[in-house]
Chain A
Amino acid sequence: MKTVEVRELVKTFDGHLRRTRRGGGDVVRALDGVNLAAEPGEYLVLLGPSGCGKTTLLRTIAGLEHPTEGEVLIDGQVVNGLPPRVRQIAMVFQSYALYPNKTVRDNIVFPLRAEKAPRETQESKTRWAAELLGIGPLLDRKPRQLSGGERQRVALARALVRDPAVFLLDEPLSNLDAKMRATARDELKRFQEQVGTTTIYVTHDQAEAMGLGDRIAVLEKGRVRQVGTPVEVYDDPADTFVATFIGSPPMNLVRRDDRLVGFRPEHLLPVENVPHDARVTMDLRVERMEYLSGDRHVYGTVTGLGEDTRVIARLPATITTPIRAGEAHGFAVAADRLRFFDAEAGTRAPAVPIGKP
Chain B
Amino acid sequence: MNETEALRRRYARRHVAARVGVYGAAVLAALVCALPFLWSLVSAFKQNRDLYNPESNPFAFNEPATPDHVRFLLTDTPFLTFVGNTLLVGAAVVALTLLMSLPAAYSLARLNRPWGTPMGIAIFLVYLVPPSLLFLSLTRVVVSLGLEDTLWSMIVVYPTITVPVSVWLLIGFLKAVPKDVEEQAMVDGHSRLGAFARAVLPLVFPGIVAVVVFTFTLTASEFVYALAFVSSSPKMVVSTGVPTQLIRGDVFFWQSLQAAAVVTAMPIAFLFNLFLDRFVTGFTMGAVKT
B-contacting residues of A (Cβ < 8 Å)? 77-83, 86
Which residues in chain B, 1-54, are within 8 Å of chain A measured between CB atoms?
Answer: 1, 4, 7-8, 11-12, 15
A–B Cβ pairs within 8 angstroms, 12 of them: A77-B1, A77-B4, A78-B4, A81-B8, A81-B11, A81-B12, A82-B4, A82-B7, A82-B11, A83-B11, A86-B7, A86-B11
Q: How many residues of B contact A (CB 8 A)?
A: 7
Interfacial chain A residues near B15, Cβ < 8 Å:
81
Q: Within the assembled complex, what's the spacing in Å between the Cα atoms of A79 and B12?
A: 12
Name which residue of chain A comes closest to B5, CB basis: A78
Name which residue of chain A comes closest to B12, CB basis: A81
Q: Within the assembled complex, what's the spacing in Å between the Cα atoms of A324 and B90?
A: 76
Name which residue of chain B comes closest to A86, CB basis: B7
What 11 additional pairs, Cβ within 8 angstroms, besides A81-B12, A81-B15? A77-B1, A78-B4, A78-B8, A79-B4, A80-B8, A81-B11, A82-B7, A82-B8, A82-B11, A83-B11, A86-B11
Q: Within the assembled complex, what's the spacing in Å between the Cα atoms of A137 and B4?
A: 41
Q: Within the assembled complex, what's the spacing in Å between the Cα atoms of A80 and B4?
A: 10
Which residues in chain B, 41-87, are within 8 Å of chain A measured between CB atoms?
Answer: none
Q: Within the assembled complex, what's the spacing in Å between the Cα atoms of A86 and B12?
A: 13
Q: Within the assembled complex, what's the spacing in Å between the Cα atoms of A82 and B12?
A: 8
Q: Within the assembled complex, what's the spacing in Å between the Cα atoms of A86 and B15?
A: 14
Interfacial chain B residues near A80, Cβ < 8 Å:
8
Interfacial chain A residues near B7, Cβ < 8 Å:
82, 86
Interfacial chain B residues near A82, Cβ < 8 Å:
4, 7-8, 11
Interfacial chain A residues near B11, Cβ < 8 Å:
81-83, 86
Interfacial chain B residues near A83, Cβ < 8 Å:
11
Q: Within the assembled complex, what's the spacing in Å between the Cα atoms of A82 and B4?
A: 9
Q: Within the assembled complex, what's the spacing in Å between the Cα atoms of A80 and B9?
A: 11
Q: Within the assembled complex, what's the spacing in Å between the Cα atoms of A79 and B15?
A: 15
Q: Within the assembled complex, what's the spacing in Å between the Cα atoms of A298 and B237?
A: 80
B289 to chain A, nearest CB (A): 16
Q: Within the assembled complex, what's the spacing in Å between the Cα atoms of A83 and B1?
A: 17
Interfacial chain A residues near B1, Cβ < 8 Å:
77
Interfacial chain B residues near A86, Cβ < 8 Å:
7, 11
A240 to chain B, nearest CB (A): 39
